[in-house]
Structure 1
Amino acid sequence: MTATDTPPAGAASASPPRLAHHRESRWYPYALIAPTMITLTVVALIPFLYMGYISLHEARYGQLRDFIWFQNFATLLADPRFWNSMWVALVFVCIAVPIEFMLGLIGALLLSQKIRFRNVLIPLLFIPSMMAPIIVGLVWKTMLAGSWGFVSYNILENFGILKETSIFASPDLALYGIIFVDIWEWTPFMMLTFFAGMQALPVNPYWAAAVDGANPVQIFFKLTLPMLAPLLFVIGLLRLIDAFKVYDTIFILTNGGPGTATESPSVLGYKYTFDFWNIGQSSALAVVIWLIFFIFCNIFYQVAKKRLNVF
């Protein structure tokens, strides 16, 4: 290549300055998030606002009738089934999520120790979480079926826990059976999430702690937990929200029964809409649940940010 063939200085960098000029524009960040915001507006915000509009009307059998202000909310809050569903969801969340959290954290610690066959075990742990909740419900409904279910016949009946009936037919045990199924499905997800977070932690603090003679318990509480805290709180919050609004598994296993023993707010909202055709009251239920979580998430965020220095 001769001197005359050499491209002029700065020719190759003509495009980057032009791109940099666009990046410096104040509209550039908004352009990047515009597709996501438009999608969320169309599929989430507009339907939510319309649902709020319906909640202020008498809406039955698919017809929007008179504007009744907050009568649907007053009727909902006076309905014992609503408070029963809130209690069911509270029990479900308070038992299932902490157990999943603790088992997931313990499992992640074990996986981080480079146990044998870890490369085979990790893909297998994805199976429960990859299964659709409806499939999980059908599998466990069969496994725990009275008299002939594999678990019912070989384990429960042998220990005299249940005889000739399903655990999901018992008003006292049905909710705990659903909690067990939820723990089986989501503990591996928590385990793998925490394990991935641990793999991303820096190793220098661990080397320094080993040099200082720290034992494994001290390392866990002084290093691993503080560095893993943001992930723990975010995953815990997301799992809590998801557990509170569980629908698929309950619908397949019990449909809210026996009676209302396992009727969660999501199942009650379904019945308001498709069994009672009271769309106004089901919309009011959805708005109330949204308000509860809006307040809870804001308090959770502020506490985690100011007291625990997580965010």
Structure 2
Amino acid sequence: MTDAVLTPTKLSGRSLKTGRRAIGWRFATPAIALILLIGLFPFFWSLAVSFQNITGSNRAGIWVGFANYERLLSDLRFWAAFGRTLLILAVALPLELIFGLLLALHFQADRPFKRLFVALLVLPAVVSPMVAGSMWRLMFDHKFGPINQIIAWVAGEPVVLLWVIKPYLAFWAIIITEVWQWTPFMFVLILAALANVDREQLEAAEIDGAGRFRVFFKIVLPAIMPVLAIALLIRGLDVFRIFDAVWQLTRGGPGNKTETLSIFMYIRGFQSFDTSYTAAAVVLVLLVLSIAVTLILKRLRIAR
């Protein structure tokens, strides 16, 4: 008798839940379709183009299979740009993390004019990378730029450093520009993470006589590690596609000594008009990044 009474209730509950889920899917489907269209259509279009031989003088193109990929895998200039991009990533990202962490730890406590200094420190991150690159190119100018003048004042003798001409100096000019502009991004995220650290644990550690380094490595660092991981992932992907600042500083020169992946693909696609070859490079880079991000997210247990 009880089962007979409860069955309609159960059925009505299930039907209500199913109806809500159906309504939810109706609202979500247009947004999902739009995201897939925007995100996946360019990829599949590039994939289709990469199997042809479309160029500026041959817009029709014919099917050539994996010829562009074979050519790409044997292109030393492509792999040099790939390695150069990874090198910039390996140098700039740790520096941004270290400087951002040090600034966040400094401004975690109450400081005179704290809000003013924080606002000023954030300014570089809101400047366009093209503007930042142009500004630093002027600052690195070997005749009129203030960088060489400051170095000469410290050294006590005239100094002429060809920052955007000599390859080894051009690399460090890129690093300085990148670190200057994006350290504030790391600083703001870490400062927000530090504000959410459990104060009771910190006070308990101080009462127990724990030193600052022990408190930092045992309490603070584990607490902000999820934010650090996401910040590093976002900035890592951003550095990997670096283009604006490098283009304004060196145009990938001298020669192609500071050419990154983005500049390589820009030159091949929009100056040489080798469309299918550029599409093959884009597809290969996207696949590598997708695999890397998937492994990182799995490691961080963010996406399962």
1:54 aligned to which of 49, 58, 74: 49
> Cα 1:219–1:64, aligned 2, differ >3 Å: closer, same or farther?
farther
> Cα 1:310–1:51, aligned 2, differ >3 Å: closer, same or farther?
closer
Listed as ranges, the matches of 1:139-288 within 5 Å are 139-155=135-151, 159=155, 163=160, 166-288=162-284
Letter in 2 for 1:140: W
Per-residue CA deviations over 1:65-108 (Å, capped at 9, x if unaligned) read 11111111111111111011011101100000001011111111
Letter in 1 for 2:247: F
2:132 aligned to which of 133, 136, 141: 136
Q: Is the 8 A contact 1:104 1:194 kept in 2?
A: yes
Structure 1 residue ranges without an equivalent (≥5): 1-20
> Cα 1:215–1:51, aligned 2, differ >3 Å: closer, same or farther?
same
Per-residue CA deviations over 1:97-122 (Å, capped at 9, x if unaligned) read 00101111111111112222111111
Structure 2 match to 1:14: none
TM-score relative to the length of structure 2: 0.87
Letter in 1 for 2:204: A
Structure 2 match to 1:117: 113
> Cα 1:36–1:103, aligned 2, differ >3 Å: closer, same or farther?
farther
Counterpart check, 1:97 vs 2:93: yes
Q: Is the 8 A contact 1:54 1:64 kept in 2?
A: no
> Cα 1:59–1:162, aligned 2, differ >3 Å: closer, same or farther?
farther
Letter in 1 for 2:191: F
Q: Is the 8 A contact 1:152 1:166 kept in 2?
A: no
Structure 2 residue ranges without an equivalent (≥5): 1-15
Letter in 2 for 1:98: P
1:44 Cα deviation after fit? 2.2
Q: Is the 8 A contact 1:147 1:166 kept in 2?
A: no
1:54 Cα deviation after fit? 0.6
> Cα 1:161–1:267, aligned 2, differ >3 Å: closer, same or farther?
farther
Name the SS of the counterpart of 1:236 in structure 2: helix
Per-residue CA deviations over 1:212-261 (Å, capped at 9, x if unaligned) read 33222121111111111111101101101100110111111111100111
RMSD: 2.3
Name the SS of the counterpart of 2:277 in structure 1: helix
1:157 Cα deviation after fit? 8.2
Listed as ranges, the matches of 1:299-310 within 5 Å are 299-305=295-301
> Cα 1:35–1:156, aligned 2, differ >3 Å: closer, same or farther?
farther
Q: Distance in 1 between matches of 2:179 and 2:158?
A: 20
Q: Is the 8 A contact 2:151 2:159 kept in 1?
A: no
Name the SS of the counterpart of 1:169 in structure 2: coil
Counterpart check, 1:127 vs 2:118: no
1:27 Cα deviation after fit? 3.4
1:198 Cα deviation after fit? 1.1
Structure 2 match to 1:70: 66
How much identity, in percent, do the aligned residues show?
A: 26
Q: Distance in 2 between matches of 1:22 and 1:125?
A: 50
